[in-house]
Amino acid sequence: MTRYAGNVAAIRDLVRDQEVHRDVYVSEEVFQLEMEHMFPNSWVYVGHDSQVPNPGDYFGTTIGTQPILLVRHTDGTVKVLHNRCPHKGTRITSETCGNAGKFFRCPYHAWSFRTDGSLLAIPLKKGYENTGFEQSHAASGMAPVRHVRNYRGFVFAKINDGGLDFEEFFGESLSSFDNMIDRSPVGQLKVAGGVLRYMHNCNWKMLVENQTDTCHPMVAHESSAGTVVEVWKKAPPGTKKPMAVEIIAPFMSPYEFFENMGIRIWDNGHGHTGVHHSIHSDYSAVPGYFEKMKAAYGEERAKAILGENRHNTVYFPNIMIKGPIQLLRHFKPIAANKTLVESWTFQLVDAPDMLLERTLMYNRLINAPTSIVGHDDLEMYERAQEGLHSNGNEWVNLQRLYSPDEAGQTNVAVNGTSEWPMRHQFRAWTKFMTMGM
């Protein structure tokens, strides 16, 4: 039964000022429309250019559910290609990442392509003479994604020609990327440590929303963070607080802490928690790091960079970054009720290793399929995915600290427990979902 395809009014009706219809989470039809419209209309994160340092290097990923390749072209620029042979559709690459050499070669019939996707050669080419092949879709090779932007190493792509340009889409929100990158004394990040992959039986938007949900940690994570606090209380007085306790215990901070941390709202669904402070504020100093930053930037600027404690910055549609610990979570949609969460970590080039060590410990303790904090969250998402099938109430409430004048406001800082960011994400959702429909 199609209810939403081509029906802009029906899609708009799913998002109200203070609530959203459960079909945004459970309907396979809505999910397919997200893949057809919302993702292609948006600037979606692809990968980091340190994953493809040398010409011919590639990294395979997805935009929505479409397979794509991030490639370092022979001219040194990065390209994004659809990972599909123009002949019969075969996936071109065998490994997730690797080096193609000077060209890609399809393993099925050996058509080959330059690293910008253009067709290089076809065996027994004369079989295509006088067939009008030049006019075929296949003749142009592996289709490139035309709109690609490499922002200080972070590569984004937009599949559709319509929509907003890169600057307009992100606006002031890029300051969170800037802060994360500037934390390297040489202003450079490198993907490091490996990626954690965690399968979630829930809609991808539940994860995105959760990144600015500051009323859940002290409740849902009482089991993990609360236990850490209790166990740590029994440590003999004077014991040095371990890194793991520094990382998990702040999840138990009281409501007041989260109210005061603040939330900032930018355009197009982007925003961040932790305007004033965050759960990352009180980490122990890493020996030698500030000295390096001071030497690189001068004391005042170094202090300003490290004084930012942004907690979670959400980039609509489907990533979150943590600047203070150089972590990026990618919420990859698979089906209405299935999401792959990839948690990537970055090394600050020319900074002490201990920063990466802490980042990896955070990732393992919070974002791994073996993480007790992760277990707490996933349990809630899965219960919601199930509960939403109830017909007793078809709406999900996002009303906390709602004010009727908020639509259209941007670059504002508000109370840290507001659900404004979620309402804001759904306003963007409607916009990019229906754009060009």
Beta bridge partners of 176: none
Q: Which is nearer to another protein, 23 or 213 (CB)?
A: 213
Tell which positions 242-271 bind another protein, by CB under 8 A.
Answer: 242, 244-245
Task: Pick one of another protein, ligand FES, Fe ion, none as the site partner of residue 106 (Cβ within 5 to 8 A by kind).
Answer: ligand FES
The reply to whether omega before 317 is within 30° of 0 (cis) is yes
Q: Residues 282-316, buried b or exposed e (16+ Cβ, 10 A)? A: ebeeeeebeebbbebbeeeebeebbebbbbbbbbb
Cα dihedral: 203, 435, 78, 271 (round 10): -60
* Options 139, 340, 349, 435; binder of another protein; rule CB under 8 A: 340
Residue 222 near another protein by CB under 8 A: yes
d(CA 119, CA 251): 53
**Rounded distance between C-alpha atoms, residue 349 and residue 191, angstroms:** 10
Single out the residue of 115, 309, 345, 385 in contact with another protein (rule: CB under 8 A).
Answer: 345
Chain-centre distance for alpha carbon 359: 17
| Nearest-approach distance from CB 248 to another protein, in angstroms | 8
Nearest-approach distance from CB 405 to another protein, in angstroms: 37
246 binds, among Fe ion, ligand FES, another protein, none (CB under 5 to 8 A by kind): none
Among 8, 231, 304, 413, binds another protein (CB under 8 A): 231
Residue 81 within binding range of ligand FES, rule CB under 6 A: no
Q: Which of ligand FES, Fe ion, another protein, none does residue 353 bind to, with CB < 5 to 8 Å depending on kind?
A: another protein
Buried b / exposed e over 240-256, threshold 16 CB at 10 Å, is: eeebebbbbbbbbbeee
| Nearest one of 139, 362, 141 to 344, comparing CA atoms | 362
> Of Fe ion, another protein, ligand FES, none, which one sits near residue 340, judging by CB under 5 to 8 A according to partner kind?
another protein
Figure out which of the listed residues 230, 256, 282, 291 binds another protein, where binding follows CB under 8 A. 230
CA 31 to CA 3: how far, in whole Å?
Answer: 12
Binding segment for ligand FES (CB under 6 A), chosen from 82-90, 177-185, 293-301, 416-424, is 82-90
The listed partner (ligand FES, Fe ion, another protein, none) that binds 108, CB under 5 to 8 Å by sort, is: ligand FES
Query: Is 350 an interacting residue with respect to another protein (CB under 8 A)?
Result: no
How far is 369 from 365, CA to CA, in rounded Å? 10
Return d(Cα 56, Cα 98) in angstroms, integer.
8
Q: For 298, how many CA atoms within 13 A lie in the half-sphere containing its CB?
A: 2
* CB of residue 402 to Fe ion, shortest distance in Å: 23
Residue nearest to Fe ion (CB): 377
Sequence-distant contacts of 64-67: CB under 8 A, at least 24 apart: 64/34, 64/35, 64/39, 64/40, 64/333, 65/35, 65/333, 65/334, 66/35, 66/39, 66/159, 67/91
| 65-86 CB burial, b ≥16 within 10 A, e <16 | ebebbbbbbeeeebbbbbbbbb
- 158 forms beta bridges with 147
Closest CA to 316 of 275, 384, 266, 366: 266
Q: How far is the CB of 106 from ligand FES (least distance, A)?
A: 3
Query: Considering only 30-38, 103-111, 281-289, 406-414, which stretch makes contact with ligand FES by CB under 6 A?
Result: 103-111
250 touches which of ligand FES, another protein, Fe ion, none (CB within 5 to 8 A by kind)? none
Choices 105-113, 147-155, 175-183, 224-232 (CB under 6 A): range interacting with ligand FES: 105-113
Binds 363: which of Fe ion, another protein, ligand FES, none (CB < 5-8 Å by kind) = another protein
Query: Distance between CA atoms of 180 and 82, rounded to whole angstroms?
Result: 29
Picked from Fe ion, ligand FES, another protein, none, the partner binding residue 200 (CB below 5 to 8 A depending on kind) is another protein
Our finding on whether 85 is near ligand FES (CB under 6 A) is yes
2 binds, among ligand FES, another protein, Fe ion, none (CB under 5 to 8 A by kind): none
Taking CB under 8 A as the rule, does residue 216 contact another protein?
Answer: no
CB of 90 to ligand FES, least distance (A): 4
Taking CB under 6 A as the rule, which mask of x and - marks residues 109-128 in contact with ligand FES?
x-x-----------------
The full length of the chain comes to 437
What is the distance of C-alpha 247 from the center of its chain? 21
What residues line the site for ligand FES (CB under 6 A)? 85, 87-88, 90, 106, 108-109, 111
What residues line the site for another protein (CB under 8 A)? 192-201, 220, 222-224, 226-228, 230-231, 242, 244-245, 340, 345, 353, 356-357, 360, 363-365, 368-370, 372, 374-376, 378-380
